[in-house]
């Protein structure tokens, strides 16, 4: 399918492009068929945040654009630091995706799992890393959006690897000021 004939509906900020150089990416059809379904490409994070949204209807952030950008940069550095500290078969930034075929269109859901590794019981785990300035004592591991994202990646990993019968997920919380790490299985 070439760019001129490709029909893609963008969904909010969650639109993504499937990387062409990743062996785990879902290949697109080469056929040029007028009856071909539209493909809606959306990120795991956007879907999970939309499904599990809660709270106030006032969506204004108290952080300035500068503060938000600074937090994103610090968060990216924290992710790399944690990922570099892992050992064994830990794989960082693993692309996972699945295309769900519906009657009138398809949904291509994808994103990058922060990490995938095998634990000492030989179970494959998805590691979802979150950085924060909140004291880690207040992190109870009950954030449904964080867990939803990890579980969605775990499900897609199972779909891509049908020989695997069991997988798990863990949350790794990193405090940006103290370098403290809390891992919640």
* Of the options 3.40.470, 3.90.320, 3.30.70, 1.10.3470, the CATH number for the domain spanning 8-184: 3.90.320
Angle at 49 between CA 118 and CA 135, to 5 degrees: 70
Give me 21's structure tokens: 């150089």
Alpha-carbon torsion angle 108, 53, 176, 140, nearest 10: -120
pTM above threshold 0.95 = no
Sorted by where each begins, the domain ranges of the chain are 8-184
| Predicted confidence pLDDT, tens digits, the chain (185 residues) | 333 323 333 333 333 333 344 444 444 544 445 678 899 999 999 999 999 988 766 555 566 777 778 888 999 999 999 999 999 999 999 999 999 999 999 999 999 999 999 999 999 999 999 999 889 988 887 899 999 999 999 999 999 999 999 999 999 999 999 999 999 98
């Amino acid at each position: 399918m070439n760019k001129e004939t490709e029909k893609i509906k963008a969904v909010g900020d969650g639109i993504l492009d499937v990387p062409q150089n990743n062996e785990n990416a879902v290949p697109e059809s080469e056929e040029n068929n007028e009856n071909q379904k539209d493909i809606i490409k959306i990120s795991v994070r956007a879907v999970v945040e939309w499904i599990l949204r809660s709270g106030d209807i006032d969506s204004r952030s108290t952080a300035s654009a500068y503060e938000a950008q600074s937090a994103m940069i610090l968060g990216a550095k924290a992710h790399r630091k944690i990922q570099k500290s892992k050992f064994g078969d830990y794989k960082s930034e693993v692309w996972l995706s699945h295309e769900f075929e519906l009657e009138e269109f398809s949904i291509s859901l994808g994103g990058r799992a922060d990490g995938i590794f095998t634990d000492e019981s030989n179970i494959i785990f998805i590691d979802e890393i979150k950085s924060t300035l909140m004291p880690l004592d207040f992190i109870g591991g009950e954030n449904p959006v964080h867990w939803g994202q990890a579980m969605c990646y775990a499900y897609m990993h199972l779909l891509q690897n049908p020989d695997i019968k069991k997988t798990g997920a863990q949350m790794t919380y990193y405090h940006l000021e103290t370098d403290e790490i809390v891992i919640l299985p």
